[in-house]
Amino acid sequence: MTKILVTGGGGYVGNVLCRHLLDNGYQVKCIDNFHKGQCDAIIPLATNPNFEFEYGDVTVLEQMKEAVIGCDAIIHLAAIVGFPACKSQPALATEVNVEGTRNMLFARESYNPKMPFVCVHRKRLRQSRRGLHRRVPVKRCVSLRR
Ligand SMILES: NC(=O)c1ccc[n+]([C@@H]2O[C@H](COP(=O)([O-])OP(=O)(O)OC[C@H]3O[C@@H](n4cnc5c(N)ncnc54)[C@H](O)[C@@H]3O)[C@@H](O)[C@H]2O)c1
């Protein structure tokens, strides 16, 4: 069974996506640090044998290198989302949105460079690509936003 790693799986988009993936026969490994203090949305998924939750932080590369093991694809949603949140915590937003995305790409690269990587925050990824280009090939990145 295909196993999808969903970072930020406890969030607004993530919990719906996790549910959708499970309903469509995928195994799901959800990573989240409940940055906003809310975990209610994924509690109902905990009883599903195909659902696995791991408390993790995308800014910690070693944790993410472990997290990708056994997974077939990554959907990267973990982020500090929205202008007000990014404006009030710019350092954290950069760390999570840029370094976190970079870490996920490094983790993928270390485990399986051919693993599909889906990222919805295209703008931030494009910005972070400047620093990624030389070290991580991001050819297989897929953006859901056009
Ligand atoms: N909500 C929308 O309408 C919408 C539309 C287009 C794109 N997006 C994109 O989808 C993604 C998710 O958006 P959302 O609305 O679900 O946001 P959200 O804030 O509800 O979810 C983000 C999740 O990431 C987690 N997170 C934050 N920092 C983390 C860290 N260091 N390590 C692990 N997890 C961490 C948070 O705890 C949260 O559960 C974002 O990239 C956003 O830009 C959202």
CATH of the domain at 127: 3.40.50.720
Is the pLDDT reported for residue 28 higher than 70? yes
Nearest Cα residue to atom 6 of ligand 1: 120
DSSP 82-126: SHHHHHHSHHHHHIIIIIHHHHHHHHHHHH-TTS-EEES-HHHHH
Mean pLDDT over the full length of the chain: 87
pTM of the predicted structure, to 2 decimals: 0.88
Element (H, E) at 7: strand 3-7
Cα of 17 from ligand 1 centre, angstroms: 12
Burial of 120 (0-12, 13-18, 19+ CB in 10 A): middle
Domain containing residue 124: 3-143
- 12 Cβ below 6 A of ligand 1: yes
Cα of 14 from ligand 1 centre, angstroms: 7
Number of domains in the chain: 1
- 11 Cβ below 6 A of ligand 1: yes
Is the pLDDT reported for residue 144 higher than 80? no
Place of tokens 């509690």: 43
Which of 5, 6, 7, 13, when mutated, tests ligand 1's pocket best, judged by the most ligand atoms within 8 Å of its CB? 13
Model confidence over 36-59: pLDDT tens digits? 888 899 999 999 999 999 999 999
